[in-house]
Amino acid sequence: MSVATSTLASDTATPPPSQPSHSHTHTHTQPQPSASSQNPTQSQPQPQSISPHLTLQPPLSRRGHGPGLILVVDHYAALSASEKSLDPPPLVKWAEEGFAVVQVMVPGKVGDGEGADGGEFPLERAVEVLRECEGCDFKEGGGVGLISYLTRLPFYIEEAICLSPHISAIISYGSPRPLSSISTSLSTASSDTSTKSLPPQLLHIAGPEEKQRRTSAPLVPDPESSSADQKPPQGPVKTYRYPTAKKDSAWILPADESYHAPSASLAHTRSLSFLKPLLHGPYFDLEAIWDEHCRYEFADRSVAKTMATMVAQPYVNHIPTMTGGIGQAALAAFYRDHFIFANPEDTAMELVSRTVGVDRIVDEFVFSLTHDRQVDWLLPGVPPTGKFLSIPFTSVVGLRGDRLAHEHIHWDQGTALRQVGLLPEWVEWVQPQLQRGEEGDADAAGKRREVRLPVVGAEGAAKLVDEGVGESNGLMGEGWGVREV
């Protein structure tokens, strides 16, 4: 919900029109007759079945091309769209991030029948599919990332990954140990007995860390760690642990019953930060994308253009009032009926600070307007008061590739209520029931008391812009607290 001047990152797109300043008045336009579905994927490339085990999804970004990524998933994994979460399955999610994605399904659970250790793992076929994909920025000799969603990696898969010259980054969402270096003499296609250095690895481990117990040395060595051909990792390894996610589960898959949304979101952001430098992108100008979205909301007042800047299933959550929209249809209706055409004509935003991450933008800003109409997303059900409001806001915007995925908008609802005159300065104070053994105030019996609400008005927004404005700690001084009336 802020405006800044920059250009949209696109290989072929022309720069967007010049944008208004941070403090500005928006031109009110007539509502559009319909907020028909503006699903950005309607004209997007669809997944292509290469074989029973291989699926190609070209990039779903507006740019339309990007680095190659290979996903390794269990044949029995819950890979459909979730009915409870808007988080898409991995194939779609990584394509929305701007990658060309090949999904490889391991045929059967690890160790069960066909596809167990010694079976064929079509890694090179997946690489070839990416090489032939028009939307893949394929680089010979490396530049392909690999993400495993398996809780355990069979040796034949580990061997194929370690020996491939095309893999530049490895991420695991299940295996508790990194891939080990393997002698190239294991490969029948090579007579070289040297050890190939592994690319950087990122491990996401679910469950609390197990406490180390002192035990005697095992009589029988662990077969997973005692192979003469396995050596310690020779590339950098980064590990993150998610203690509240279920151990040995598909906690990262939205349709799985063990899905843990906070951990999955955090792990995805960390994976992006890990992948992009190693695969040389894809990089997008997130500020330009966010400002474009805001321009369509507040200046152009176009539902269609606003929705076109978002992923297939976005959401907006205004935290203090729980208003917004979850999913394409609900959000388009919210924008049409309660937001884009409901904001007063003098609505303005003054950007105070901005933090840009790999897939997030966090803005601090002052949102101002004259409350000359009912603004349901901000003050639901409150008739217009004619008061001018100046409210400190914080927005946390999640982007997926070159589109918005969600908005978390926070503001001080106390100051909003104070400024429209709905929040009294003093309210009755009822002495809380004391616990056994605590001493009460004997003099308070039968007396009426009030407490002064520690809420500020527009001066709070002014202090966000200039820290020197107003008195710090004033609410802790005399004149605040409880009084007798």
Q: Are 311 and 405 in contact (CB under 8 A)?
A: yes
Strands (E), 319-387: 323-326, 348-356, 360-370
The predicted-structure confidence for 197-223, as pLDDT tens digits, reads as follows 889 999 999 999 877 665 554 444 444
Walk me through the domains of the chain, giving residue ranges and CATH numbers.
64-210+228-279 (3.40.50), 286-419 (3.10.450.50), 426-484 (no CATH)
Cβ contacts of residue 447 below 8 Å, gap of 6+? 484
Render pLDDT for 282-323 as a digit per residue (tens, 0 to 9): 999 999 999 999 999 999 999 999 999 999 999 999 999 999
Q: Note the pLDDT of residue 254.
A: 92
Q: Are 44 and 76 within 8 A, CB to CB?
A: no
Measure the CA–CA gap between 291 and 300, rounded to whole angstroms: 12
pLDDT, one tens digit per residue, over 120-151 is 789 999 999 999 999 999 987 678 999 999 98
pTM: 0.81
The closest of 28, 75, 29 to 51, measured between CA atoms, is: 75
Alpha-carbon span 117 to 157, nearest angstrom? 8
Beta bridge partners, 206, equal 242
| Tokens of residue 118, six digits | 């010694």
DSSP E strands in 5-77: the ranges are 48-51, 54-57, 68-74
Q: How many residues belong to the chain? A: 485
Return all residues near 69 (Cβ < 8 A) that are at least 6 apart.
Answer: 94, 99, 100, 101, 102, 144, 145, 146, 147, 275, 279
Q: Please give the pLDDT value at position 14.
A: 34
- Its sign, for the CA torsion 162, 163, 164, 165, is positive
> Which mean pLDDT values do the consecutive 10-residue runs of the chain (485 residues) have?
40 35 38 43 83 95 96 91 91 97 77 46 94 90 89 88 92 86 48 66 92 54 40 75 93 93 96 96 97 94 96 97 97 96 94 98 98 97 97 98 98 97 93 60 69 94 93 88 90
Written as one string, the DSSP assignment of 153-182 is --HHHHHHHHH-SSEEEEEESS-SSPPPEE
